[in-house]
Amino acid sequence: MKPFSLNIRGRLLSYDRPAVMAIINATPDSFYAGSRNGSADEISERARQVISEGADIIDIGAYSSRPGADEVSADEELRRLSFALEAVRTVDSDIPVSVDTFRADVARRCICDLGADIVNDISGGDLDPTMFETVAELRVPYILMHMRGTPATMQSLTDYPDGVTAGVIAELAPKLERLSLLGVSDVIVDPGFGFAKTMEQNYRLLHDLEAFEMLGRPVLVGISRKSMLTRFLGITADEALNATTVINTAAIERGAAVLRVHDVRAARQAVDLITRLQQA
């Protein structure tokens, strides 16, 4: 990976090896049951755990994007994010925190009032047409993920006539141009593994990950315990730690700059070992 930096509220944080982003879900229905947190105490304990294990960034979500998940109103999403962000900030006031939302108004409240630093948008601006302008106004880093449709419809939108890698890059590139014109300089690109992709397309994207270098942005890989691993191996999400570590290692070798994970210790060890190997 190429070193990158993020401007976090005037602090320039530099990363010369892949960053580990810890998932904290304030949801009752995330696809991996082990990641669900229903109270402030649970979230505080989870925050202490991931920080002690070496997390560089914490990502907080309150709206499950798995197919078939219940719809969550903006008010309910904000309620969950409010107590989750407060709980994390009581544990650590400095660690960068991203908020996983596709709603611009929710993102604004989280950045302005609740202590979040980064916006992580699974829809890449498609589900809220005001998101790009909002991020530009807030002057915060933005994670631009590739998805088609909505979580309910995305798996019917997997046709990529020129191949999945070329198709995803072609759909992300004009969004990056628009963000640049708006003055958003800190953008992380997420190919969107599992979102509007078949299992075969997910593996092709991972195989071709180095192609995303042409976008000139750090690349986030979020494959932790996902169905592209569990379905292929015939295991459950609870059994997918080893598979996740293997695939995260492959992603690091292909240039991933951020690993979004449930299991921070394993990801940190993978980063440390591959970094050491590259220095040999």
Question: 10-residue block means of pLDDT along the chain (280 residues)?
Answer: 94 97 82 62 93 97 71 90 94 97 97 97 96 98 95 90 97 98 97 96 98 98 96 96 98 98 98 94
Number of H helices, E strands in the chain: 9, 10
Specify whether the CB–CB gap between 30 and 64 falls below 8 A. Answer: yes
Rounded to whole angstroms, how far apart are CA atoms 105 and 265?
34
Rounded to whole angstroms, how far apart are CA atoms 227 and 243?
11
pTM for this predicted structure: 0.94
pLDDT at 53: 97
Rounded to whole angstroms, how far apart are CA atoms 84 and 59?
11
pLDDT at 34: 57
**CATH assignment of 18-279, given 3.20.20.20, 3.90.1150.10, 3.40.50.970, 3.90.950.20?**
3.20.20.20
Q: Which residues are catalytic?
A: 226, 260
pLDDT at 171: 98
pLDDT at 64: 76
Alpha-helical (H) ranges within the chain are 40-52, 74-91, 104-113, 131-138, 164-181, 199-207, 227-233, 241-253, 264-279
Rounded to whole angstroms, how far apart are CA atoms 176 and 219?
13
> Nearest-5° angle of CA 248, CA 47, CA 7?
70
Specify whether the CB–CB gap between 174 and 180 falls below 8 A. Answer: no
Residue 7: other Cβ atoms inside 10 A: 14
pLDDT at 151: 83
Q: What is the pLDDT of residues 168-221, one digit of tens each?
A: 999 999 999 999 999 999 999 999 999 999 999 999 999 999 999 999 999 999
11: its two tokens: 């602090």
Rounded to whole angstroms, how far apart are CA atoms 246 and 65?
24
